[in-house]
Amino acid sequence: MSKITTDIKKCNYYIICVPTPINQNKTLTRLCNEIQQHNYKEEILQLMTEQIADYRCITGENPMWHPLEKKVYWLDIPSGRLFRYDPSTQQHENFFTHDEEVGGFTIQPDGVLLLFMSRGAIGFLRGNRIDHVVDEISEEKASRFNDVIADPAGRVFCGTMPQKGRLGVLYRLETDGSIQPILEGIGCSNGMGFSNDLQKMYYTDSGKREIYLFDYDQETGDISNQRVFVKTPDGEGVPDGMTVDREGYVWSARWDGSGLFRFDIQGNLERKIELPASKVSSVVFGGDDYTDIYATTAGGNDKIINGSGAGALFRIKTEFTGKPDFFSRLS
């Protein structure tokens, strides 16, 4: 295995599957092809994990595949830095830095990013200029937005962080720019997603370590009938960002859980993909065929404690297929 191990390290790959005995003289390319040609369902996890970029993010978050540009975007919340990676050139950059925190963003049909920031501010990023849709939310002056998601109609569900004397709130931003609270008393508003039939919405409250399932009305954007989908056991980390794949399975990033957790539609854990970082913050599918998983990690300011991959962006090659995120459609 020494030759294979050396080749893997050169390419910065972590192979997390081992098929039947492999000829040690094979090149890494042939090894990868052999791995991908097999189907190791339950017994052997078929994937490769590559560290794409390391900006030592304190809170790397919100990975999103830009379908028009064919690039991955992500951010570091406290520093206000936004990044992008082009798989075709393998180049990445910190293309914009805001002077305040940026909690999340969505993508408009014209490719413009819609940023969700401190104090409840929301605005379009056009070049180096932010055109505000919402200047601030008076109740959120001491807070910021966290995770956000556009729904099929182009509305945006956007949650805020708890602050002194007030817990977090989940808001719904309408396509006309109006905004209203729809859930209050949230410990830490986090990852969201929709079932494949668009009849249900998943919602993560990290403060309670729970992922909820709601009935979702696409016509009105209303959510109802809240119930627990997954409860994270004590001592096993905190559910953070999430996405839903084409099979309808939920992928949840686990802060202080060192990985991605995949749940079936009944909420049973189907598998875990480990990453070399304790604080795995979010996950999205990307690539032309949506078979690449991109995951962000946090804690890059202390890699000794949080792991060698803390604060980085990872790409994971898998047998699974995701689906595009919805555009926000603010006029």
More confident residue, 105 or 25: 105
Residue tagged 């980390």 (tokens): 237
Mean pLDDT of 155-181: 97
Domain at 53-317, CATH homologous superfamily: TolB, C-terminal domain (2.120.10.30)
Amino acid, single-letter form, for residue 233: P
Q: What is the pLDDT of residues 142-153, one digit of tens each?
A: 999 999 999 999
Amino acid, single-letter form, for residue 82: L
On whether the CB atoms of residues 161 and 168 are closer than 8 A, the answer is yes
Angle 180-232-202 (CA atoms, 0-180°, nearest 5)? 35
SS3 206: helix
Q: Is 311 left (phi over 0), alpha (psi -120 to 50) or beta?
A: left
Q: What is the pLDDT of residues 14-57, one digit of tens each?
A: 334 333 333 434 444 554 555 455 443 333 344 589 999 999 99
More confident residue, 331 or 86: 86
Q: Which residues are paired to 216 by β-bridges?
A: 223
The one catalytic residue among 151, 205, 240, 292 = 240
Query: What is the C-alpha separation between 56 and 44, in angstroms, rounded?
Result: 31
List Cβ neighbours of 329 (8 Å cut-off, separation of 6 or more).
Answer: 108, 109, 150, 153, 154, 155, 175
Q: What is the pLDDT of residues 260-269, one digit of tens each?
A: 999 999 999 9
Please say if the pLDDT value at position 6 is more than 80.
Answer: no
Q: What is the pLDDT of residues 276-319, one digit of tens each?
A: 999 999 999 999 999 999 999 999 999 999 999 999 999 999 88
Nearest to 243 by CA among 274, 282, 277, 275: 282
Confidence of residue 7 (pLDDT cuts 50, 70, 90): very low
Task: Count Cα neighbours of 281 within 13 Å in the Cβ-side half-sphere.
Answer: 29
Please say if the pLDDT value at position 255 is more than 90.
Answer: yes
Query: What is the C-alpha separation between 246 and 285, in angstroms, rounded?
Result: 10
Q: List the alpha helices (DSSP H) in the chain.
A: 2-10, 28-37, 303-306
State the pLDDT at residue 48: 84
List Cβ neighbours of 165 (8 Å cut-off, separation of 6 or more).
Answer: none
Please say if the pLDDT value at position 9 is more than 60.
Answer: no
Nearest to 119 by CA among 147, 145, 141, 146: 141
Q: What is the pLDDT of residues 200-254, one digit of tens each?
A: 999 999 999 999 999 999 999 999 999 999 999 999 999 999 999 999 999 999 9
Query: What is the C-alpha separation between 174 and 185, in angstroms, rounded?
Result: 21
- Helices and strands per DSSP (H, E), number in the chain: 3, 25
Strands (E), 108-255: 113-117, 122-126, 129-134, 145-150, 156-160, 168-173, 179-186, 189-194, 200-205, 210-216, 223-231, 238-244, 250-255
Domain boundaries, the chain: 1-46, 53-317
Query: What is the C-alpha separation between 253 and 255, in angstroms, rounded?
Result: 7
State the pLDDT at residue 308: 97
On whether the CB atoms of residues 242 and 252 are closer than 8 A, the answer is yes
* CA distance to 146, 217, 243, 283, 297, per residue, from 100 (Å): 13, 34, 27, 24, 20
- Residue 240 appears among annotated catalytic residues: yes
Q: What is the pLDDT of residues 70-88, one digit of tens each?
A: 999 999 999 999 999 999 9
Confidence of residue 331 (pLDDT cuts 50, 70, 90): confident
State the pLDDT at residue 318: 87
- Give the strands of the sheet with 91-97, arranged side by side: 60-66, 71-76, 81-86, 91-97
CA 194 to chain centre: 14
Please say if the pLDDT value at position 5 is more than 50.
Answer: no
SS3 84: strand
Q: Please list the helix, strand and coil fractions of the chain in percent, rounded to the nearest 5, in that order.
A: 10, 50, 45
